[in-house]
Structure 1
Amino acid sequence: MAIELSVEYKRLNAFFADYTKNISRGGTFIRTDKPLAIGTDFVFKLNVPGLGEPLALRGRVQWIVEPAQATSDQEAGMGIGFLWESEAERERIANHVERLMTESLGPVIYDKLVGRRRRGDDDA
């Protein structure tokens, strides 16, 4: 894969919002006025505050919104589906992000953000 893009999050909470809304579901949306063609495979690096190294992820363009098609509800850009080498790779990235979010937000807020019940909540 010769194409590499960099996505930079200026604030950690912007990454957390994107992660819980999109990334954890297997894809994301990259805002750009120059979307790649549908079906293009590429590597993109998520630069996230608090992570020393960028998260390098492989993706494929699933759909695009050209600048001329953009509206106030839908910005120009491209919808990306992740391409995982293995389930172990997907789990490694998910665990890494979960650890970052838990350290930053605390476990209770993290669990509420991702809609997960805390262990012991069902033990009443």
Structure 2
Amino acid sequence: MVTIIDYKERQTEDGKTFFVLEAQGGIEMVQSQVTGKFYATAKKAFIPATFDEVTCKALIGTQMQGQIIKEECEPFEYVNKETSEVMMLSHRYVYAQDEPQIKRPQEPFTENLKANPNVFSKNGKHELEHA
């Protein structure tokens, strides 16, 4: 399950504006590689949308089926806004819909079927029995 937490206005290469929804996954516990202590975090991803700004704003708080997953990509520079540290990353986080669950019957289907022996020919000819 993901939650829409915000939206942002973006611009295409040819100058057209559009909006993206910022989606956040559930809480995850991650262990620090430096201190060894655990901290809580959540993955975020941006989903392009065809909605206007009013609709995007109204969607904040909406929960949707799916998850935020890590996807490999071409390496790119990323600047941490809090520390100004420049890093090279080769992954990004993207929204992925959950696979639909196929519900199987609890009992095998064949157990519910019973043959009626009176509908089969007993002499190799198609004849209807009259009652």
The alignment's TM-score, normalised by the length of structure 2, stands at 0.25
| Bigger fraction of residues in helix | 1
The two structures have a TM-score, normalised by structure 1, of: 0.26
**Who wins on radius of gyration, i.e. which is larger?**
2
Structure with the larger strand share: 2
